[in-house]
Every structure is written in C-alpha cells, then in structure tokens.
Amino acid sequence: MIAVAGLIIGIVLGVLVQPTVPFWLQPYLPIAIVAALDAVSGAFRAMLDGAFVDRVFVISFVSNVVVAAAIVFLGDQLGVGAQLSTGVVVVLAMRIFANAAAIRRHLFKA
C-alpha cells in the first residue's frame, strides 16, 4: 500500500515539479531508469514468491542504478560508451523479461 502510494506521489511530484536533469547526468538517466525497472520487477516477483525482503529491495535498487550508470560512465571514458550501454540494456532487459515471465506464471498460472 505504502509502495503504491509512494509511486503515485513520485509520479505526481515529477510531473508537477518537472525536475531539470543536469546536463552531465543526461546520458545516464535512461540506463538508470532501466536498472530501476529491473529492481522493481525483481521485487514484485519476490513478493509473489513470498521472498520479498525490503532491505534487499532498497539495496538492489540503489546499487543497480549506480552500477549501471557507472558502467556507462566508464565506457564513455574508454570510448566504448555506446557498446557498453547496449550490453547493460540487453542484460537488464533480459532480467526484466525473466522477472515478467515469473510474475506472469504466478498471476496467470501460465
């Protein structure tokens, strides 16, 4: 309940405040979002599994976002930013799909 309320509050805040993304942060925002979506889908799956632990969720959310952005940053410095972003996105997308498949099995038994 609190989580759903938090999501709604966050979206409303974002639309109302329209936070300006600092220029140096802009390349990493999409990757960070995908990483965050991965953490959230994993948390939802764990909740359905009965294995949800809030500590794991908070830590995995923050670390996913930071690590994904850090990998892309490192890639940018090394000149392979585009390729590394692709790699990160592929892995995260696969994880999101795997989580979505598990959630689907739980909800629809299919």
Partner 1 sequence: MTAPQDPSAVGPLDPQPHSWEAAATMSLLSTLNRDALGSDYPQHRTAAGDRPPTSVAARIRTGVVVAVLGLILAGALVHASGAGPVRSADRTALVERVTAAAAATDAREADVIRLRAEVAAAESAALSADGAGRTQAERLARLELAVGLVAMQGPGLEVVLADATQPRSADDLGRVLDRDLQAVANGLWQAGAAAIAINGQRLTARSAIRSAGAAILVGYRPLLPPYRVSAIGDPATLESRFGRGSGGATLRALVDAYGVQVTISAASQVTVPAAAADLIRRPGADRGD
Cβ-based nearer residue to partner 1, 21 or 77:
21
40 near partner 1 (CB under 8 A) = yes
What's the number of CA atoms in the CB half-sphere (13 Å) around residue 65?
14
**Opening angle at CA 66, ends 39 and 54, nearest 5:** 40
Q: Which residue in this structure is represented by tokens 């995995």?
A: 60
Subset of 83-102 contacting partner 1 (CB under 8 A): 91, 94-95, 98-99, 102
39 near partner 1 (CB under 8 A) = yes
Stretch that binds partner 1, among 18-26, 70-78, 80-88 (CB under 8 A): 18-26
Cβ-based nearer residue to partner 1, 4 or 79:
4
Supply 23's token pair: 């220029």
Positions of E strands within 1-110: none
Cβ-based nearer residue to partner 1, 4 or 77:
4
Phi first, then psi: give them for residue 58, nearest 5 degrees: -60, -45
Cβ-based nearer residue to partner 1, 49 or 82:
49
Supply 68's token pair: 């994904």
Subset of 51-80 contacting partner 1 (CB under 8 A): 51-58, 60-62
46 near partner 1 (CB under 8 A) = yes
Helix axes 54-78, 81-108, angle to 10 degrees: 150
